[in-house]
Structure 1
Amino acid sequence: MGNTSGCTVDDLQAVEMHLWYKKFMVECPSGQLTLHEFKQFFGLTSLDSDADAYIEQMFRTFDMNKDGYIDFMEYVAALSLVMRGKMEHKLRWYFKLYDVDGNGCIDRHELLNIIKAIRAINGSEKNELTAEEFTNKVFDRIDINGDGELSLEEFVAGAKSDEEFMDVMMKSTDLSHIVAMIHNRRNSV
């Protein structure tokens, strides 16, 4: 890129944005990413049904205007949130992602399916609690009013206070392999 010593943060962000746009348009010449292209773009094909449902829910949360596509601005907003967003914003986004039915709370079934999907994508570790055990543990710790549902407030407060739950959420959108892919392809574009 040459000498960047005179560049401002805005200049570097503009360069990065240009590279993201170039990459996006190479991978998606129409300027709109479909669910199928989203799965291929991020290497998330041939998953089991739980993982596939999770990826579809992720796509829907990134599709902010609900038109069935992710355009470049939605793509940048999503990557920026996941990679650089403030924790409070990330937790609100996770809540939206995990609240599959959109009723404003997360029940045990929704969380259980998300945990199963995350493990299907990332794999399970030895001596790890089962998805059911982990879900029960989370609800025991953070469902303050004991109603069997997590409100946004319970979810955010619980995630901030429960390191294990926070770790699982961070792994659920670990995009390090995607960032590496974008970086590697930068030079080939």
Structure 2
Amino acid sequence: MRNTFEITDDVFIVRVFREFDKDKDNHVNVKEWIEGLSVFLRGSLDEQIKYCFSVYDLDGDGYISREEIWRMLENSLSREAITEEDPDEDIKHLMELTLKKMDHDKDGRLSYADFEKAVKKDNLMLEAFGNCLPDANRALEFEENTFI
């Protein structure tokens, strides 16, 4: 994940692994690897929405909470991108803007329906909380070098 797809955030690496490990046995078997890569590299928008939501739902309760958003933004934002003297204020501001754009039912957390609606309206929201999918060039390079 780190070298091939440039997914460097430990939180996302663990969550991607958990998403690939469908039988939750702490091992990704060949079938799980192939099915995971299928969505990861070439999944439909609906498949990738489901995948990204699962990665972002850190505690698996079916919602992306404020705490989860905070944790992901804190981990994924580079310190160079934060301009305020108080980095927590930058993260809080970004979290509030994101919730305003995505939290359609205004309950202070994102349900799958909220997330899906926001992404279908603006595909850039798919990775709103950090990089959990490879960029197109990395995916193509992987496919060209792996699948002969």
TM-score range, shorter chain: 0.7 to 0.9
Q: 2:122 aligns with which of 135, 154, 162?
A: 162
- Change in 2 beyond 3 A, CA 1:148/1:170: closer
Query: Shift of the alpha carbon at 1:163?
Result: 4.5
Q: Which of these two proteins has the greater Rg computed from alpha carbons?
A: 1
Structure 2, unaligned stretches of length 5 or more? 84-89
- Change in CA separation of 1:164 and 1:42 when aligned onto 2, cut-off 3 Å: closer
Q: Using the alignment, how far apart are the partners of 2:123 and 2:3 within structure 1?
A: 32
What are the residue-to-residue correspondences of 1:169-184 with 2, within 5 Å? Answer: 171-175=131-135, 176-177=137-138, 179-181=140-142, 183-184=144-145
* 2:38 partner amino acid: S
| Higher mean C-alpha deviation, range 161-170 or range 136-145 | 161-170
Question: Alignment RMSD, CA only?
Answer: 3.2
Query: Which range moved further: 163-172 or 95-104?
Result: 163-172
Query: Residue type of the partner of 2:95?
Result: T
When the two structures are superposed, what TM-score results if normalisation uses the length of structure 1?
A: 0.61
Q: Distance in 2 between matches of 1:186 and 1:164?
A: 28
Structure with more contact order per residue of length (Cα contacts < 8 Å, sep ≥ 6): 2
For structure 1, the residue ranges without an aligned partner over 5 or more in a row are 1-37
Task: Give CA-to-partner distance per residue, 1:142-175, whole Å, 9 cap, x none.
Answer: 2122211111111100111134423647953125
Q: Which TM-score applies when normalising by structure 2?
A: 0.75
Aligned to 1:77: 35
Instruction: Summarize deviations over 1:101-139 as a string: whole Å, max 9, x none.
Output: 01111112212322344445xx97698xx4443322110
